Structure 1
Amino acid sequence: MNLSIALPAMVNGTAPPGPPNASSAIALDDRNGTLMELKVLAPVYAWNPEIQGVLLSSLSYGSFVASVPSGYVAGLVRPRHLIGAALLTFSALSLFIPLAAEAGVALLIVLRTVQGVAQVMIQTSQYLIWVKWAPPLERNQLITISISGLMLGSLTVLLVGGFLSETLGWPYVFYIFGGIGCACSCLWFPLAYDDPAAHPFISAAERDHIARALAQQDCEPDQSLPIKAMVQSLPLWSGLLSQFTEHWFFYVLMAYLPTYLHSVLHVDLKASGFLSALLLGVAFVSIILGGLLADFLLSRNILSLLVVRRLLTSVGVLTPSLFSVLLPWVSFSLGVTMAFLVLCLATSSLCQAGALVNFMDIAPRYTGFIKGLSLVFAQLSGVIAPTVSGFFLSQDAELGWRNIFLLSAAVDVSGLVFFLVFSRAEVQDWARAQTLTRL
């Protein structure tokens, strides 16, 4: 989010573009005419829209290429070390983005690509931590609380990033948030451990509780992968396709929500930024509540694990599909449209405790690899969905939005049907320790 927020200031300053270190002094007189303030102008670059698009996409280049390899590597090394090193690398490189921009756009693209590799390592490895730390009846809430940080981080940058760019200058967006990331990585190493048995501060009661809860779970990583069995596994495919279909509408919203608010509802850009932040806040809260609801249903033996996964996925797909299809019909009212969008994001967040975490049920031994594989499907959706949406809008601006929402609903529901038919919640034979068939 940092570059997305800072980019308008990087290419659209209030002063004409000058040398990279250009600065300007602005005199501000108080009542006595004695106050003088010096304000240093951040450098401005002549990047055309094509270059800007490549810069914004370069993070995804690294993430896409490294998704599957990082998932495999995460199963071979200690996740604690991998996550800490990746977080420190990602954050430290953020501090050098202003220097890279000054050196040239090619270096900036390379730096952002490396950040993408580090970012995907964190996303794949963190699930291996929960395999060892999260008792089955607490796993959903622990995972969703950690996942909600993605929304909280985006919300924070969206609210604060523009202010920092306007007051201190756009480089401080990278300095401040990069510094926060470095501080977090310094806290990570002494506080995070791969296994409760190795943690020096955990109480004996908590360690024994986790050990008893996970005693029957076969979660030791395996260096060999049963590729043939994975390819033939319909339960695995149901989860992977859900990653693609359920992220479709999310990526459409992330790419075109400000455009929709501005062009259809005639909301100014400043207000659309605030409304976008509001929706991210709703998603942040809803993800956590979804995890709490899943564990409540499981701990009270109200529903089985498979029914919980299918129920939350059904609500998280059908509700937003319905309200998104209705959006063109309520475009006359900003209030009703925002209410529908809130319902869409709030209910779609339930999928985080449904189909999107189902891979941990069927193959805990291969959590890192399958998470990396699922990120590929999610990122493919992030590439295809905005592209198709842009095509619809280029054909007909008015009917384009209706077609976008209809297609999003159709894609989402098709993935739901496949998941309801083929999903399972027990460890598959190919994911057990005694599996002999390898490829």
Structure 2
Amino acid sequence: MLTGWRKTVSKCFLIPQRYVLGIMGFLAIVNAYTMRISLSVAITAMVVPRNTTNVTDTDTCPYPDDHQTGDGPITNSDNLYDWDSETQGVILSAFYWGYVITHMPGGILAEKFGGKYSLGLGILSTAIFTLLTPIVVQHGGYQWLIALRVLEGLGEGTTYPALNAMLGKWVPVHERAKIGTLVYAGGQIGTVVGNALSGYLIEATGDWSSVFYVFGALGLLWFVIWTLICYSSPDTHPFISDEEKSYLRKELAESTSSKSKKIPWRAILTSVPLWALVAAQIGHDWGFFTMVTDLPIYMSDVLHFTVSKNGIYSSVPYICMWIVSMGSGWLCDWLIVKNYMTVTFARKFFTTVASIGPGIFMVAASYAGCDDVLVIALFTISMGFMGTFYCGMKVNALDLSPNYSGTLMAIINGLGAITGIITPYLVGALTSGHTVQEWRVVFFISLGVFIVTNIVYVLFASGEEQWWNRPDDTNFHKSIENGILREKEKKMEAKANKKAAKASKK
């Protein structure tokens, strides 16, 4: 394996181009998430603080003794806004209004013209709108901030469909969990960097606007590098070695050899494994968006952390999630290559771990009350379990159809992202009193969503390539039919053996 890896190294790079793509795809999602979630920390410094009087209600955490002085300057008092919990919920959910809309166009464009520019231009536009955020807020108020967040969402909506379309053209089957997990783990690292650096910048500068200037500038820098070194497919890449190009052609020849350029919409939209995957995505996104968008608010309003501590402690769970996601990606590939698990069983197993574990520990954190160390530990364990989603359901679209993986991701991620519209507003509406009991209800709802969606996935999901990935390939269809017949024959033979065994016992 190592020898083959060395033979595919480009003369201009120290690693194969598919890994260059993986790293840049990872950084794309890192940038996307820093620009997306930085507002979650910044908004705690943008709004007028609540009454800081210590309370004795057992369902409300007391303020720390140094709360009024904090650990440094928070922000300019003239630069604060009187937004209630529901208004904050609407502001935080606005991003996803636009995010949902551009998934489908982004996936279709990426498959037709290549993912390089549909992804690159999406991140570029988000970076520009991020840089404009302070100006818009200061001169237009929260209504214009909502509009700007919608525009940011429109830009980022192409991210996952475009990346999935490119991975379908670049990544062999036995490397999907590793490279796919590397790319999608950018969500955790982006969340870690976004939370921690936002808190630090606000404390250091005393101005929440610094957050948007820094992350917007980093987005612009990524776009320049991406444009120079990454390409939509191996055949169009000027720096790829002949060995790697031949290797990828051989590995991907069958699954990406469809002669039909027309998307088989009817077959896709009536595919049971696809809708099982949609269900799993909804469950994952419900829990993930609840945490990503609202955990800093929980740290601020319930545990009463200062903005710098908020940024640091809100990022800790995602470090654990990233470590688990990377490790489970390698483990998943190893189990499949060694035939300890089928692709289908592996996807279902790791998705189940990522569904039940997070839900249980979210609820447990709400019962830890005001013990901030225990609360953070339980949230960290919760997000650690969630890390196995990436080698489970997140790469499953590539299994079903490498040819139409961009379209599939547009459908799956687009429908899942609707939860990003619902959860911030729902959390804002349910937690107006900022009590532990209110947040407990939020986490129980998340647990319920996890369980229901995971049951659907386990019952109906598949890790096998679907017939509509190659609708014109009659040999492929015959092989599927023969495989189904062989499975039926095996089941019938097993039943006959059981009956014979029972008869012999009698």
Q: Give the TM-score band, short-chain normalised.
A: 0.7 to 0.9
Match of 1:21 in 2: none
* Shift, 1:419, TM fit: 1.3
Q: Classify 1:159/1:376 alpha carbon distance in 2 versus 1 (closer, same or farther; 3 Å).
A: same
* Shift, 1:239, TM fit: 0.1
Match of 2:230 in 1: 192
1:107-122 correspondence runs (5 A): 107-122=144-159
Q: Does 1:369 align with 2:404?
A: no
Match of 1:164 in 2: 201
Rounded Cα–Cα distance in structure 2 between residues aligned with 1:127 and 1:172: 32
Which structure exhibits the higher relative contact order, with contacts defined as CA atoms closer than 8 Å and separated by 6 or more residues?
A: 2
Q: Classify 1:69/1:400 alpha carbon distance in 2 versus 1 (closer, same or farther; 3 Å).
A: same
* Shift, 1:270, TM fit: 4.8
Q: Aligned partner of 1:179: which letter?
A: A
Q: Does 1:209 align with 2:244?
A: no
Residue from 107, 113, 117 that aligns with 1:77: 113
Match of 2:102 in 1: 66
**Contact map agreement 2:302 2:434 (CA 8 A) in 1:** no
Match of 2:32 in 1: none
Q: Classify 1:326/1:270 alpha carbon distance in 2 versus 1 (closer, same or farther; 3 Å).
A: same
Q: Does 1:134 align with 2:171?
A: yes
Match of 2:356 in 1: 318
Match of 1:123 in 2: 160
Match of 1:173 in 2: 211
Residue from 264, 281, 304 that aligns with 2:319: 281
* Shift, 1:435, TM fit: 8.3
Q: Look up the SS of the partner of 2:283 in the other structure.
A: helix
Aligned-residue CA RMSD (Å): 3.2
- TM-score by length of structure 1 reads 0.82
Q: Classify 1:88/1:265 alpha carbon distance in 2 versus 1 (closer, same or farther; 3 Å).
A: closer
* Shift, 1:179, TM fit: 1.6
Identity of aligned residues (%): 26
Q: Look up the SS of the partner of 1:76 in the other structure.
A: helix
**Contact map agreement 2:127 2:216 (CA 8 A) in 1:** yes
Once the two structures are superposed, residues 64-86 of structure 1 have per-residue CA deviations (whole angstroms, 9 ceiling, x without a partner) of: 22222322232222211222222
Q: Look up the SS of the partner of 1:225 in the other structure.
A: coil
Match of 1:153 in 2: 190
Q: Aligned partner of 1:433: which letter?
A: P
Rounded Cα–Cα distance in structure 1 between residues aligned with 2:78 and 2:105: 37
* Shift, 1:253, TM fit: 2.6
Q: Answer with 237-246 or 83-92: which moved more.
A: 83-92
Once the two structures are superposed, residues 140-189 of structure 1 have per-residue CA deviations (whole angstroms, 9 ceiling, x without a partner) of: 11111111222212211222223323444333322222221111111111
Q: Which runs of 5+ in 2 are unaligned?
A: 1-36, 50-74, 475-506
Match of 1:36 in 2: none
Match of 2:83 in 1: 48
Q: Classify 1:111/1:183 alpha carbon distance in 2 versus 1 (closer, same or farther; 3 Å).
A: same
Q: Answer with 427-436 or 305-314: which moved more.
A: 427-436
Match of 2:25 in 1: none
Q: Answer with 303-312 or 409-418: which moved more.
A: 409-418
Q: Which runs of 5+ in 1 are unaligned?
A: 14-39
Q: Aligned partner of 2:187: which letter?
A: L
Rounded Cα–Cα distance in structure 2 between residues aligned with 1:53 and 1:315: 29
Q: Classify 1:286/1:217 alpha carbon distance in 2 versus 1 (closer, same or farther; 3 Å).
A: same
Rounded Cα–Cα distance in structure 2 between residues aligned with 1:175 and 1:74: 29
Q: Does 1:381 align with 2:419?
A: yes
Provide the aligned length of Structure 1 versus Structure 2.
410
Residue from 224, 231, 241 that aligns with 2:262: 224
Q: Answer with 120-129 or 65-74: which moved more.
A: 65-74
Rounded Cα–Cα distance in structure 1 between residues aligned with 2:446 and 2:188: 21
